[in-house]
Structure 1
Amino acid sequence: MVGAGATVLAVLLVTVVFGCAMQRLSGMGLGLVAGPVVSLLLGPVEGILVVNVLAVVNAALITATTWRNIDLRKFLTVGSTMVLGAVPGALVIRAISTDLLQVLVGGTLLVALAVVTFGLRWVPTPHGRFPALVAGAVGGFMNTLAGIAGPAITVYAQAARWDHRIYAATLQPLFVVGGALSVIIKLVTGAGSLGVVNPWIWPVGLIGMVVGIAYGARLSQVVPKDKAHALALALAALGGLVVLVRGGVGLL
């Protein structure tokens, strides 16, 4: 059974606590922190699938505490196309080696994030629905492939000059949609299975979520908004780097 050891469960608990605290504070964190760790613990397929499930529950819990700051129009626009990326992501997992694709995706994300972070004054503000629709599709693809939807959406949100509180809150229902789509599509297409996962992972993960969200909520009261925004961008860059390195290691 995958993930049956006490050490695995202890590492999972610490990872989930830290990831959920960062997500409550900055808008993202669980997928970025837990994705690489859980992949090592449980394997690249089942590990990301477990992260997808945990991310859905975690984002739903945070949504319940930050719903006042959610921009419903932004959520509906970006979320409406996540399935367009989630389906190809699952097909890619089944059909071909994802190592080279992860290198390309991770590298592209880092370049795009660098452009909108350090050259924002020269980046035109996106208008209309099309850029948001593209961000949703790319986020759905990334979430299915690597358990990380946040960096792709962060690139758009940064370019569109979203206020950090709206950005951090609106990401949460988007994570619910993206994670749920990824789980359903993977299970339906046979791209992953939860049948071999240790059932103790779920209560341990839930405990970690509750502790992490509570701690992150306390941090959000004392950490300035600009610091939280900088943390979100750093985590987005980390996400792109994780995907890039993961693919690069696979190619070696």
Structure 2
Amino acid sequence: MTLAVGVFAVVLVGSLLQRVSGMGLGLLAAPVISLMIGPVEGVLLVNVLATMNALMTTLSVRRDVDWKKFASIAPYLAVGAVPGAFLIRAVSANVLLVIVGVLLLIALGAVTLGERFVPRMEGRGPAAIAGTAGGFMNTLAGAAGPAITVYSHAARWDQRTYAATLQPIFMVSGATSFAIKQLSAAGSLESIDGSMWAAGLLAMVAGIAAGTAIAPRVPGNRAHALALGLAVAGGLTALARGVLGLLS
């Protein structure tokens, strides 16, 4: 029951932030839920919830989606998802926690500094790299957002286009990561208790509804900064637990 309440709380906040700022569910929920129920099961749960969340959010922001930008990134998500799934099968849970924490912190650092230091880049090559990195990160850590965000900064997307176009990208990356994990036996739905699914789904619906009501009154940059701050805390916690597990 305690774990279900924890899943509900983190998914609620993550879904709300994603509706307001464009991302938040994967960044916030993946490291925290990985600590609660395990890195493989936690990220698998987030993959499924993030796919559903992105689908629902896409429907509400579809007029602002740049489908051309989406099409330049989406096909490459599967390219990165495949090695991520095989890495999950090859290493221990503690090593996965360390990898999840390190990758999130590196990616979040790049996002935080990206607007100032990342040079302007556009075209198929950078989009392909962003999609591949996003697919790998999403499969391993449940967070494709940082890789796509770095590219969006480099390509100078405006905030509204960025927040909206992320949603179908998250939908594809979540579905792709889930499918590849099932095909490669890198994760199983049967290993996740039904109470976790119920808590996550209820929290997701409530978070999207609350975010839709709040979004017009909250500056996107503030919500984005809050999501990144919470994700940094989650990444540090996952890294610390993984390191302690390896040392014990």
TM above 0.5: yes
Give the secondary structure class of the aligned counterpart of 2:190: coil
| 1:72-99 deviation line (CA, Å, top 9, x unaligned) | 0111111110000000000111123544
Matches of 1:48 and 1:74, distance apart in 2: 26
TM-superposed CA distance for 1:237, in Å, is 5.6
| Pairing 1:144–2:139 present | yes
2:85 matched residue in structure 1: 90
Is the Cα–Cα contact under 8 Å of residues 8 and 203 in structure 2 kept in the other structure?
yes
TM-superposed CA distance for 1:11, in Å, is 1.6
Is the Cα–Cα contact under 8 Å of residues 27 and 227 in structure 2 kept in the other structure?
no
Give the secondary structure class of the aligned counterpart of 2:129: helix
1:13 and 1:246, CA in 2 relative to 1: closer, same or farther beyond 3 A?
same
More helix, by proportion? 2
2:157 matched residue in structure 1: 162
Q: Percent of counterpart pairs with the same letter? A: 51
Give the secondary structure class of the aligned counterpart of 1:221: helix
Is the Cα–Cα contact under 8 Å of residues 32 and 238 in structure 2 kept in the other structure?
no
Q: Which amino acid aligns with 2:114?
A: V
| Pairing 1:203–2:198 present | yes
The equivalent position to 2:38 in structure 1, one of 35, 40, 43, is 43
Q: Which runs of 5+ in 2 are unaligned?
A: none
Give the secondary structure class of the aligned counterpart of 2:121: coil
1:242 and 1:138, CA in 2 relative to 1: closer, same or farther beyond 3 A?
farther
Q: Which amino acid aligns with 1:105?
A: L
1:103 and 1:20, CA in 2 relative to 1: closer, same or farther beyond 3 A?
closer
Q: Which runs of 5+ in 1 are unaligned?
A: 1-5
TM-superposed CA distance for 1:163, in Å, is 0.9
1:34 and 1:124, CA in 2 relative to 1: closer, same or farther beyond 3 A?
closer
1:109 matched residue in structure 2: 107
Matches of 2:73 and 2:17, distance apart in 1: 22
1:21 matched residue in structure 2: 16
1:157 and 1:241, CA in 2 relative to 1: closer, same or farther beyond 3 A?
farther
Aligned length: 244
TM-superposed CA distance for 1:47, in Å, is 1.3
Q: TM-score, normalised by structure 2?
A: 0.88
Off by >6 Å, runs of 4+ in structure 1:
none
Q: CA RMSD in A?
A: 2.3
Is the Cα–Cα contact under 8 Å of residues 67 and 169 in structure 1 kept in the other structure?
yes
| 1:20-43 deviation line (CA, Å, top 9, x unaligned) | 000000111111221122212221
